Amino acid sequence: MNKVLIVGASGVIGAAAVDHFASLPGWKVTGLSRRRPDVEPGTVFEHVSVDLNDAAACAAAAAGFTDVTHVIYAALYEKPGLVAGWYEQDQMQTNLAMMRNLMAPLLAAAKGLRHVSVLQGTKAYGAHVHRMAVPARESQSRDPHDNFYWLQEDYIRGAQKGADWTFTIWRPQVVFGGALGVAMNLIPVLGAYAAICRELSEPFYCPGEQDNIIEAVDTDLIARALAWAAEAPAAKGEIFNITNGDVMVWQNVWPAIAKAVRLAPAFGKPLSLAEFMPANAAVWDRVVMKYDLRPTKMADLLGESHHYADLLFSWGATTLPGSTLVSTIKLRQAGFGDCEDTEVMFAKWLKKLVDRNILPTP
Tell me: the pLDDT tens digits for 187-207?
999 999 999 999 999 999 999
Please indicate, yes or no, whether residues 182 and 257 belong to a single structural domain of this protein: yes
| 64: in domain | yes
Asked if 162 and 67 sit in the same domain, the reply is yes
Q: 36 and 160: one domain?
A: yes
Give the CATH number for residue 85. Answer: 3.40.50.720
pLDDT at 21: 98
Please say if the pLDDT value at position 319 is more than 80: no
Q: Could you tell me if 22 and 118 lie in one domain?
A: yes
Find the mean pLDDT for residues 128-138: 91
Is 271 part of a structural domain of the chain? Answer: yes
pLDDT tens digit string along 255-292?
A: 999 999 999 999 999 999 999 999 999 999 999 999 99
Domain C-terminal end among 188, 207, 242: 242
Give yes or no: residues 258 and 120 share one domain.
Answer: no
In one letter, which amino acid is 74?
A: A
**Lowest-pLDDT choice from 122-131, 157-166, 282-291, 297-306:** 122-131
Q: What does the mean pLDDT of the chain come to?
A: 96
pLDDT score for 147: 95
Domain assignment present for residue 25? The answer is yes
User: Does the residue 333 lie in any domain?
Assistant: no
Q: Tell whether 332 is covered by a domain.
A: no
Residue from 14, 76, 77 nearest 45 by CA: 14
Assigned domain for 235 exists: yes
What local confidence, expressed as pLDDT, does residue 317 receive? 78
Provide the pLDDT for residue 129: 87
pLDDT for the residue 321 = 76
Q: Which of 207, 242, 277 is the last residue of a domain?
A: 242
- Of 323 and 183, the structure prediction assigns the larger pLDDT to 183
Please indicate, yes or no, if residue 299 is contained in any of the structural domains. yes
Same-domain status, 183 and 264: yes
Question: Do 97 and 238 belong together in one domain?
Answer: yes
Find, among 80, 73, 82, 123, the residue nearest to 101 by Cα.
73
Q: Same domain for 182 and 193?
A: yes
225 and 211 in one domain?
Answer: no
**Residues 6+ away with beta carbon under 8 Å from 24:** 227
Give the list of residues 6+ apart from residue 62 with CB closer than 8 angstroms, or none.
102, 105, 106, 108, 109, 110
Same domain (yes/no): 227, 298 = no
Q: What is the pLDDT of residue 210?
A: 87
229 shares a domain with 273: no
- Number of domains within the chain: 2
Task: Indicate if 206 and 114 belong to the same structural domain.
Answer: no
Residue 106 lies in a domain: yes
Task: Show the domain range for 308.
Answer: 178-215+247-322+341-355
Q: What angle do the packed helices 342-355 and 186-200 form, to 10 degrees? A: 70
